[in-house]
Structure 1
Amino acid sequence: MNLKKNYLKKSADILFLIQIFTLPFFVEHISNILIIITTCLYILSTERINKPDKLFLFLLFPMIKFVGIFYSDYIPIVENTQIFLDKYIVYIFYFICFIYVDKHQFNNLKTFFILGTLFTLITSFSYNFILSINVGDFNIENFIYHKLLSLYGLHSSYFSLYLLISLIFLLNNKTIIGIYRIISIVLIIIGLILLESRIITISAFLCLLFLMFKYVRTHKNKNIILFGFISVSLLVIFTIPQDYKKRFEQIYNFDSKKLIGGNYENGVTQRVFLWKLGINILHDYPLIGVGSNSDQFYLNKQLEKEINKDIYKPSEIKAIKSYLKRNLNLHNQYLSILVSHGLIGLFCFLVFMLMPLYVSYKEKNIHILLTQIPLILFCTTENVLLRNKGIMIFAFIYAIYGFYYFRCLLNEKE
């Protein structure tokens, strides 16, 4: 019987590794099938456990999205249900999967995530390098931002989030050690610099600050640590590409009166313009919102209203029409929740987002806090839960919290 369970566990481990490696290829349906099979194998290979009732908090957000299906006046219930299952089945099964794994398997799963991310980064860089040799052009621009990920067509900001989470996992990883850990950390840092994500850079800096405070409290050589932190920070700031600096200058040079339709238009100004439109939608649906997956429809309606106004210049009208054509989303998860599910939905989502802080405090585990910082900040500039690649990282992180939280509650009972 034990031999059979060990075989099931090893099979589940292999399937999970394959599932992680489907990430760069965007085969969501295959990925969903793999995680369902993996979860079933973990359940079959584990003794029955009594799951604490409080764990429903980790399923709170999917429950809100499910309820929102029934009062959305734009998408039919059947189609909306299909969208829900396609997006959130990964989250639900990841969560169940992590409840049933033991500590050794849990550490393996985090290692698989690191390996999957490194595989994507290395193959992307190698592809661009070979392409540059064939073309005879070794311009640094071929290796930065979206161009670095041209092989897989990945979004630079989302993959930057994957890299930063992998870096945090590496700091507490006992499988990848020695020279392999150093090489992995260096590769991830190079990847983060080349991808030029502003919000991830800020997140990484905050994570470094928290780590610095932790080490200052636990180590005697405080001055050396502070000096090392400042030196590394200055080294990174003064060696990053010029384009990286320009992206941060977009924040410094921001002017609320000049948002769209000119040379000053950029990712920052576009987001502020879209956020203003999102707030306008809230005035009509403040309490429960417009329903699941309907926020894009109402944003497009708002853009159409703006086009018909006389307050914009021709260049600004052209910009608004391009947003409508490209179907741009709100680029803010909190605002998207507000529009879709109103103040009630936002309150539940904030409870959902703050749960990891409780887990971090109870477990006295700073690495849980470090993984939550990038996620909280990333939600301010992206609709993380709109795309499967965003839901996958969200699901993975919250499954980890569920693992720690479940054992935390078991320890309390003991």
Structure 2
Amino acid sequence: MKGIKLIIAIVFSLWSSSTFESCIAATRGNYHWRKLKAASATNFNVLDYGAKGDGHADDTKAFQGAWAAACKTEGSTMVVPSGYVFLVKIISFSGPNCVPNIVFQLDGKIIAPTSPSAWGSGTLQWLEFTKLSKIAIKGKGVIDGQGSVWWSGNGKLPGTKPTALRFYGSNGVTVTGITIQNSQQTHLKFDSCTNVQVFDIKTSSPGDSPNTDGIHLQNSQEVVIYSSTLACGDDCISIQTGCSNVLVHNINCGPGHGIGIGSLGRENTKACVRNVTVRDITIQNTLTGVRIKTWQGGSGSVQNVLFSNIQVTDVKTPIMIDQYYCDKSKCRNQTSAVAVSGIHYVNVKGTYTWEPVYFACSDSLPCSGITMDTIELKASQESKNSNVPFCWAAYGEIKTKTVPPVDNCLERGNPRSTGIISKIDSC
């Protein structure tokens, strides 16, 4: 009897163990299925919404459909897959009713139309992301504005050239990995955005393509741009009014016009820029290196700017402040100006093709608080001119010996007319 009980116990034990393991396996399989289902439920591939990806068919509606679905799902990913070329017309990926934490996974290529009929009477931007929270564009894909038809002055296209990719009124923006090329005008723009990160991107347009800024900032705060290569036909990075707490580092710039603040104060407007750091930059074959440019007649201020560890090669003018900026045939003299103060240059080295330093400041509101530390700029072998530094109404301090000498150029101390600053609108 005891033997029978023992056999029954062993059989029951074996049956229970195998059943239990089967249940566990089934549970694991079911869990895995649920994971896959959950993952697919948050990925919205444009191909599933009718995109052809052949570079000829209009895929705009497919992109709109995928975005509409992603917009409703927090933590979703809109997928633009590799191996395809998507022709997309003017489109806005917009909130403010979209949920946060959306990823735009760009691994394929998006191209702009070149037909004048696709642009109507004109637009300020081609691809736009607006009023979003925690939006990221990631991937190894390409945005191609096919801008050569615009640069050549095709009379059939609208007079207003669009920005290729624009973010407006958004918080927590990340752009990484992608390439933006042949933009119609500016490659990447941030307007009225906060908490922006841009890294490991490329912009690529010829040096003679007009107004094709690499990255353009305006009315944006808490911005970090780094580890990127920017080639264009205008400023590699342009920092405009309303920007503060901006850090730019480890950038390779050229061709283009360098890295600039401005232009500011056009048509007697008020402009405010403060707390900008530009460091660890290489700049080659550009119009300027690091530049601040303002119009006569403006108001406001540029304050607390650091340019540090800037390596220039064959740059026309590596260091520039120009308070007489004018891109018209003629501009009238005016007394008011955007105040420029607290501008620091540290370890700026390399070669120039025209002049090493150019400080042209306002008679009524001179530049103040300029410091120069470890400046070593030599005429390029390609240069046919070797001009001395130019300074006008510029005041500050030379902390170390400079090459070439700036001692007889930069005025020491503070300007007598500093009191004018208190009369302008504060920022």
User: TM-score scaled by structure 2?
Assistant: 0.22
Q: Which has the higher contact order (CA 8 A, sep 6+)?
A: 1
The structure with the largest helix share of the pair is: 1
Larger Cα-atom Rg: 2
User: TM-score scaled by structure 1?
Assistant: 0.23
The structure with the largest strand share of the pair is: 2
